[in-house]
Structure 1
């Protein structure tokens, strides 16, 4: 039987008794109907799973005792950073959720010339908190014990400057192909994916100046919610943990 995993944002140690966060307690006790003595798994993003059991369960709170610790080794040997043009609502949630499941290590949401979503400081802070919760939930479901970092929304130039490894800009007419990357010993890369309107010519100039190369994934133009996920999956199959 699958044991539910819950994220707890605090240090965890064997034999600790932990007061569960309200949302985790509600899910375990009210939704899943766990009772005192039932097993669950806690994690905090440090690379370990903490086996636990419920020791108290009230209407609004619950406590769990940690009874064991296990290192989880399911991170990809290929570090992929996703530089993502901010997309609208559910599209952005989908991108973050599936990119996390596919093993992305870091996410850089960026504002660009053709971005349809414009965030002031207050909205950006709320959206960032929501995005981070989407990523945490994807880790709970997928079994990841390391939570990918989601950086605060920033202009394209600032995000592009944080490139790790080789930078790739998807382009259906680029000379570089996935097949051409095989054998290059790729261990880190940054994928630049435009928003719904794509990258503008000025955006492309900024990316090129920051060292991003065109990469042809196929002959068709993909939507923003498809492009990054397809590229991450293809790179994982070629040089990561799917290969």
Structure 2
């Protein structure tokens, strides 16, 4: 666990920005476009599928998914976007919360990015979740809430997003389901995502050319250099010379 300096400027928009941030993993991910995906711990099958597919598409377009590591929507989004994902913890980074997600959280600590404002909080109290959520939202360029109950932590995250002027998106649900996100739509406080691929292309249109390039698609997964070189040979070196990719700590990144 290392201190993060400087703290991202986007967090200064908060009423109470974190005095310190600690991290484990790849801090370079902070330089990518960031999209928060947060929601219920008990998603229905429809939400599980759409969340997974959307997070995966975002990562393929070199976007980074930011979430809180919780059960349900959060961990589905982290897993689908991995290693293009940032997890903000409600504990310090010497512990794993919830322990149910320990295996995935270990992967994030090692090969993605984990953040925390706590030096020594082994077990979170209720207010730690709200403090975590404000960082998730402030760090991100826009916010997606796939599913949420009317009175829930996700709706508190929606309030933070609206207060900070972050674009807010939700999935459309049937009447009686996900009443929190449906209420946001009814009040015109959020926009619905109806077609995943069209929405992703709209957000990442500038990356369309990269998407068609097999080398850049592969390098978007942040592979080991040896693995990438074995697959593409000297073409990989040409991309490095042209500045399309860079090599750091034995891994390859799309620039």
Greater share of helix residues, 1 or 2? 2
* TM beyond 0.5: no
Larger RCO of the pair (alpha carbons < 8 Å, separation 6+): 1
Greater share of strand residues, 1 or 2? 1
TM-score where L is the length of structure 2: 0.33
